[in-house]
């Protein structure tokens, strides 16, 4: 053990000596490793940060949440021409399911409308996201209220002209979120009373509930029509805790088929979408992004490996005489082999550390320019970078180390002289 520690110490000394005595050559050789490690860890950090941000934005929704509508969230075997003819989910079907789905904790109705301008006196916010939901959506997504409250069942059913606004909307119109509740705002050419303000959430891709205006769904039905196909209606359901999702979906489909009067030989004319499937799709996408990024970055590491191998071959040539003397004094081939392998690994790790430092600096700078989106360099990714750098050094140093270990001591001393 002591011998190996001695070899490691000498290797560190030789590596540092190579850095000091041949700064430019060593810098150019390590540049490939630095860029390669930077590329791989930057990709891993960016994908992990993106995945974390998406998961945070979806954390209010339970993975068991189910969306019923006339189109699928993901790939489907149903031909496009066919599902385009499916009837849209109706308000009556929402009421029917709400009464008859015994295992449902909450059932909500949703209409999708385009962004609108919301005004207060001389101030306005353009392209505000309009969330048209029945009151149950508050329980499904566990919305966090900062000021006031969410609209209740009576207000939802009657289409009361009340709104709950996101934090950014509130500060843009009233400067202080605390001043929003009770104020009258203008939307769709009508006056609405602000009854609640959501807690600040942060955004991903400039999309968050901070920029949302929630209105009772029946307000939108009164304005655009009770069953407007162009509003892409959806019925959103959250099963009770502990409910088997497959059994719940089977019961849902049975009741929908009965409601629509479908015969046994007829196929479903609706889609049941699970949020879990969306989360799995995100997992697949980020996994693919990771894989592609690593493959591309591997080419940079390949160049870095050649650089390390080159500097080690030069190092063997420069220390040929020293190798001969060590062998003549009884040094074994294994001692020489480990010496050069350790040196190659140490040089590669140094290059890898520089790459990690660059990623760390880049993540701080990127976080400053992307608002609420934060790039995270996890300890696990740093460990991956260090291990990969060491492996590159090991692989790159094998041939030079073998060459050094096989040198004949007499020939080595004569060549060195």
380-413 pLDDT, tens digit each: 778 877 888 888 888 877 888 777 777 776 666 6
Tens of pLDDT along 119-140? 998 899 998 999 999 999 998 8
Closest listed residue to residue 300, CA positions, set 34, 28, 6, 105: 34
Degrees, nearest 5: CA angle 232-78-84: 35
SS3 category, 253: helix
With 0-12 CB in 10 A as exposed, 13-18 as middle and 19+ as buried, what is 409?
A: middle
Query: What is the distance between the terminal CA atoms of the chain, rounded to a whole angstrom?
Result: 33
Q: How far is CA 261 from CA 93, 253, 264, in A?
A: 12, 12, 10
Where exactly are the structural domains of the chain? 2-57+280-416, 87-269
Where would I find the H helices in 261-370?
275-318, 320-328, 333-369
Q: What is the pTM of this model?
A: 0.60
Matching residue, tokens 């009421």? 95
pLDDT at residue 118 is higher than 50: yes
Most confident range, picked from 3-17, 135-149, 184-198, 386-400: 184-198
Neighbours of 264 (CB within 10 A): 5
Six token digits for residue 102: 């015994």
Closest listed residue to residue 30, CA positions, set 230, 284, 301: 301
Q: What are phi and psi of 163, to 5 degrees?
A: -140, 150
Report the run of H or E that residue 49 belongs to, with start and end. helix 23-58
Tens of pLDDT along 273-312? 886 655 566 666 667 766 776 776 677 677 777 777 877 7
pLDDT value at residue 161? 95
Lowest mean pLDDT among 65-79, 201-215, 342-356: 201-215
Q: Going by DSSP bridges, is the β-strand pair 162-165/212-216 parallel, antiparallel, or unpaired?
A: antiparallel
Distance CA 239, CA 234 (A): 16
pLDDT at residue 205 is higher than 50: no
pLDDT value at residue 331? 66
Torsion on CA atoms 261, 262, 268, 271, rounded to nearest 10: 0
Tens of pLDDT along 22-62? 677 677 777 777 887 787 777 777 777 776 766 665 555 55
Res. 97 pLDDT band, cuts 50 70 90:
very high
pLDDT value at residue 203? 58
Q: Which residues of 345-364 are buried (b: 16+ CB within 10 A; e: fewer)?
A: bbbbbbbbbbbbebbeebbe
């Amino acid at each position: 053990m002591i011998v190996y520690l001695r070899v490691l110490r000498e290797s560190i000394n030789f590596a540092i000596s190579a850095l000091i005595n041949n700064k430019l050559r060593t810098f150019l050789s390590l540049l490939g490793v630095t860029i390669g490690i930077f590329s791989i860890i930057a990709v891993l950090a960016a994908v992990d940060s993106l995945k974390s941000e998406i998961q945070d934005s979806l954390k209010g929704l339970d993975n068991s949440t189910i969306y019923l509508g006339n189109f699928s969230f993901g790939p489907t075997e149903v031909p496009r021409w066919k599902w385009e003819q499916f009837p849209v989910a109706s308000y009556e079907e929402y009421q029917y399911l709400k009464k008859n789905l015994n295992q449902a904790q909450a059932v909500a109705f949703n209409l999708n409308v385009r962004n609108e301008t919301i005004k207060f006196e001389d101030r306005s916010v353009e392209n505000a996201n309009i969330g048209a939901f029945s009151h149950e959506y508050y329980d499904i997504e566990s919305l966090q209220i900062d000021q006031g409250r969410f609209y209740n069942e009576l207000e939802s059913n009657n289409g009361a002209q009340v709104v709950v606004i996101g934090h950014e909307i509130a500060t843009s119109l009233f400067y202080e979120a605390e001043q929003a509740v009770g104020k009258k705002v203008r939307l769709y050419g009508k006056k609405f009373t602000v009854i609640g303000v959501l807690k600040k959430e942060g955004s991903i891709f400039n999309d968050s509930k901070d920029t949302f205006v929630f209105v009772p769904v029946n307000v939108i039905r009164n304005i655009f029509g009770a069953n407007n196909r162009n509003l892409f209606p959806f019925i959103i359901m959250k099963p009770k805790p502990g409910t088997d999702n497959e059994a719940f979906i089977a019961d849902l489909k049975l009741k929908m088929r009965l409601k629509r009067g479908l015969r046994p030989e007829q196929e479903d004319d609706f889609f049941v979408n699970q949020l879990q499937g969306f989360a799995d799709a995100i997992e697949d996408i980020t996994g693919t992004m990771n894989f592609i990024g690593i493959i591309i970055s591997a080419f940079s590491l390949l160049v870095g490996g050649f650089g390390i191998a080159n500097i080690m071959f030069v190092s063997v040539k420069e220390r040929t005489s020293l190798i001969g003397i060590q062998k003549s004094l009884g040094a074994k081939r294994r001692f020489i082999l480990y010496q050069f392998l350790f040196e190659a690994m140490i040089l590669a790790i140094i290059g890898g550390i520089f790459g990690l430092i660059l990623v760390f600096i880049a993540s701080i700078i990127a976080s400053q320019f992307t608002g609420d989106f934060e790039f995270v360099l996890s300890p696990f990714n740093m460990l991956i970078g260090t291990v990969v750098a060491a492996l590159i050094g090991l692989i790159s140093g094998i041939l030079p180390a073998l060459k050094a270990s096989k040198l004949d001591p007499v020939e080595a001393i004569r060549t060195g002289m």
